[in-house]
């Protein structure tokens, strides 16, 4: 098995059914890494969401919570995932700075809420989440074993999924 890391940068998303693939988003601040996994089909994906809603803007599907989740689900299903088998893991959505903006609420918090709302709309359960707070994080999604790990700045990797429940 050859191991290959794919960087999923701001506003991008990627999916894979190759056992050796690891999808990575480095240094998530207010952005959210949305990992979607189908353990039985052994398919995994990661979206690096920047803002809560497209609101008609054209910045690429991966940039906004609503469009990114839908686009990633489509891509996963095309690789053989079943929509009913998908589980989500969320990482990021920190509030590193607060500026007196017009929004009244932090981008990180709004991203978190928007991603959760879209997942609920699509009936995808959230298996684990490491969101909020004030620290940046890196997320890694290994297709093999559907493993998701996260680490905060200067810390070690923490396994978020499959976690204590074990693989199905």
Partner 1 sequence: MSPYLSELQLDALRELANIGSGTASTALSSLLARPVDISVATARALPFADAVDAVGPAERLVTAVAIGVSGELDATVLLLLEPEDAAVLYALLGLHPADVLAPSALGEVGNILGTSYVNALSAMTGLRLEPEPPQTANDMLAAIVASVLAGRAGGAELALVLDADLAVDGEDCTMAFMLVPSQEGVHELLSRLGLEG
- Chain residues binding partner 1 by CB under 8 A are 9-12, 26-31, 50-51, 57-59, 63, 94, 96-101, 107-108, 134-138, 153-154
Smallest distance, partner 1 to C-beta of residue 42, A: 28
d(CA 125, CA 140) in angstroms, rounded, equals: 19
Residues annotated as catalytic (active site), given as ranges: 31
100 vs 125, which CB is nearer to partner 1? 100
Q: Which tokens is 58 given?
A: 């054209």
81 vs 94, which CB is nearer to partner 1? 94
16 vs 25, which CB is nearer to partner 1? 25
Smallest distance, partner 1 to C-beta of residue 144, A: 23
The strand ranges marked E within 4-146 are 4-7, 13-16, 21-28, 32-38, 43-49, 87-92, 126-131, 137-142
Q: Residue 60: which residues within 8 A CB-CB, separation 6 or more? A: 11, 12
């Amino acid at each position: 098995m050859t191991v290959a890391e794919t960087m999923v940068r701001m506003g991008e998303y990627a999916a894979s059914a190759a056992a050796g693939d690891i999808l990575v988003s480095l240094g998530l601040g207010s952005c959210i890494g949305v990992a979607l996994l189908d353990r039985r089909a052994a398919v995994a994906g990661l979206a690096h969401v920047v803002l809560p809603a497209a609101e008609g803007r054209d910045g690429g599907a991966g940039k906004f919570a609503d469009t990114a989740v839908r686009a990633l689900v489509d891509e996963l299903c095309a690789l053989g995932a079943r929509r009913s088998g998908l589980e989500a893991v969320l990482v990021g959505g920190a509030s590193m700075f607060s500026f007196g903006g017009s929004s009244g609420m932090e981008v990180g918090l709004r991203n978190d809420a928007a991603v959760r709302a879209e997942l609920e709309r699509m009936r995808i359960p959230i298996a684990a989440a490491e969101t909020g707070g004030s620290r940046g994080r890196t997320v890694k999604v290994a297709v093999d074993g559907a493993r998701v790990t996260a680490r905060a700045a200067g810390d070690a990797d923490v396994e978020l999924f499959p976690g204590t429940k074990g693989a199905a």
